[in-house]
Amino acid sequence: MFSVVLDLVSKKYINGSTDLIILDKASYNFEFGKFYSIVGRSGLGKTTLVSLIGTVEKADEGSILVSNHNLSDVSMHKLTEIRRKDIGFVFQNFSLIDRYSIIDNLEIPLYFSGIRKESHRLSIIKKCIESVGISENQLEKKVSQLSGGEKQRIAICRALLNSPSIIIADEPTGNLDEDNEQNIVKAFMDIKASRNCTIIMVTHNKSIANKADVMITLEDGKIVEVGGTI
């Protein structure tokens, strides 16, 4: 069973009078329930690839299936629904609101996803924070008071709120020290084991990449190496 299927996917950007080819007929099947890392030099398509999978950008050619939906054939409304229900995002810069508390940062996306009952939102949040090692008594703490590692755990928790089948993490350890890097990768491994979801992580750090089930290397817009690490 595949959660994401890429079939001859191409993406280019206009750079002055030339076309900058980012992805060039890239094909690959991401199996459901596996942890993938994507590595490669900067500017060679890693972030573009996960942006396409995450429905944030659109391919110029080829097809992308996400949870059996062909992204080329669905409406903008359906893309938004897929992004909200099927995909969780984790970013390098955390994308949290520093002046808000942890619970406020987590309640906002739940509210806008249609969960209006406060007790229901709180129940979901308590289960999520436990899975990333944040204690319930920290919920009222301001994000500005947290360490980088704690902020990233909250960001991971936010990505899990709607129980997505796919988690996309773009350089999630890029702003962290070595100890917190290891803690965050362990959190992803625990999530994969307990929630049976697909994790696709972009990283420049080979030692982090090697923790994944499968490591993919991008070079000149192509998937040139797919290595199983366990």
- Give me the percent of the chain exceeding a pLDDT of 90: 58
Q: What is the pTM (predicted TM-score) of this model?
A: 0.90
Question: Closest by alpha carbon to 157, among 172, 177, 175?
Answer: 172
pLDDT at position 181 is 87
Rounded to whole angstroms, the Cα distance separating 48 from 50 reads 6
On whether the CB atoms of residues 23 and 11 are closer than 8 A, the answer is yes
Both tokens of residue 163? 């129980």
Both tokens of residue 127? 């289960």
Residues in the chain: 230
Segment 170-199, tens digit of pLDDT: 999 888 888 888 888 888 988 888 888 999
For domain 2-228, give the CATH number. 3.40.50.300
Going 79 to 48 to 94 to 198, the CA torsion angle's sign is: positive
On whether the CB atoms of residues 221 and 44 are closer than 8 A, the answer is yes
Tell whether the model's pLDDT for residue 43 goes beyond 70. Answer: yes
Edge-to-edge strands, sheet with 87-91: 87-91, 166-170, 198-202, 35-39, 214-219, 222-228
Segment 72-98, tens digit of pLDDT: 899 999 999 999 889 999 988 899 999
Question: Closest by alpha carbon to 162, among 219, 87, 229?
Answer: 87
Read off the pLDDT band of 230 (50, 70, 90).
very low
**What is the residue extent of each domain of the chain?**
2-228
Rounded to whole angstroms, the Cα distance separating 154 from 5 reads 29
* Token pair 């893309």: residue: 79
Question: Closest by alpha carbon to 170, among 26, 73, 51, 52?
Answer: 51
CA distances from 22 to 10, 26, 49, 180 (A): 7, 10, 9, 31
